[in-house]
Amino acid sequence: MSTSRAVTWEGFFNTRDLGGLPTTSGGMTSYGAFFRAADLRFVTETGWAQARESGVRTVIDLRNADEIRPTDTPLTAQAGSAQFAASPEGPAAPTAVGRFEVPLDDIDDIEFWQHVNRERLNGTPLYYPVFLRRKAERCAAVIKKIAHTDPGGVLFHCGGGRDRTGLIALLLLALADVEPQAIAGDYALSAEALKALYAAMGTADQQPVIQAILADRGTTAEEAVMATLDGFDVEQYLLSAGVTSSELHSVRSRLSSLHIH
pLDDT per residue as tens digits for the range 13-36 = 999 999 999 999 999 999 999 999
Q: Which of 165, 181, 144, 128 lies closest to 36, judged by CA?
A: 165
* The pLDDT of residue 90: 56
Q: How many domains does the chain have?
A: 1
* CATH number for the domain that contains residue 128: 3.90.190.10
- Asked whether residue 6 is assigned to any structural domain, the reply reads no
Low-confidence ranges of the chain (pLDDT < 70): 1-3, 71-92, 257-261
Residues spanned by the domain of 97: 16-256
pLDDT per residue as tens digits for the range 162-194 = 999 999 999 999 999 999 999 999 999 999 999
Per DSSP bridges, beta strands 98-101 and 56-61 are parallel
- Asked whether residue 8 is assigned to any structural domain, the reply reads no
- Asked whether residue 96 is assigned to any structural domain, the reply reads yes
What does each C-alpha distance from 151 to 60, 115, 261 come to in angstroms?
14, 39, 26
